[in-house]
């Protein structure tokens, strides 16, 4: 399980474009031919990544929106952000 500092802030990478279609986020790399699709929970996290919001704020949002435990939300957010970072879709500030 990945564990980022709660104060860490991420930005979306420059080399991607994305659309939210029917509640699903579609992300497309500018330099490859891969498409990434996100479900509604991931979409909420994705929308919160704006170069300003700290991870702890995003976790709180998920807890509030989906009524899950803080522990569960923390794990989901950390894992998802780790995945995004690994695929170079976001970068830490």
Interface residues with other proteins (CB under 8 A) are: 14-15, 17-19, 21, 26, 28, 30-31, 33-38, 42, 80, 83-84, 87
CB of 38 to other proteins, least distance (A): 6
Question: Could you give the CA distance from residue 19 to residue 69 in angstroms, rounded to a whole number?
Answer: 29
Three-point CA angle 29, 51, 65, nearest 5°: 90
CB closer to other proteins, 19 vs 67: 19
- Which secondary-structure segment (H or E) carries 92? strand 90-92
Answer positive or negative: Cα dihedral of 55, 61, 65, 67. positive
The nearest distance, CB 5 to other proteins, in angstroms, is: 22
Comparison of 1 and 21: residue with beta carbon closer to other proteins: 21
């Amino acid at each position: 399980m990945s564990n980022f500092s709660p104060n860490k802030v991420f930005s979306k990478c420059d080399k991607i474009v994305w659309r939210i279609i029917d509640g699903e986020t579609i992300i497309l790399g500018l330099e490859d031919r891969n498409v990434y699709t996100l479900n509604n929970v991931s979409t909420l996290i994705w929308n919160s990544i704006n170069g300003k919001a700290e991870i702890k704020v995003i976790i709180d949002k998920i807890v509030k929106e989906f009524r899950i435990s803080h522990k569960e939300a923390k794990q989901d957010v950390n894992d998802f952000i780790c995945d995004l970072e690994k695929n170079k879709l976001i970068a830490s500030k």
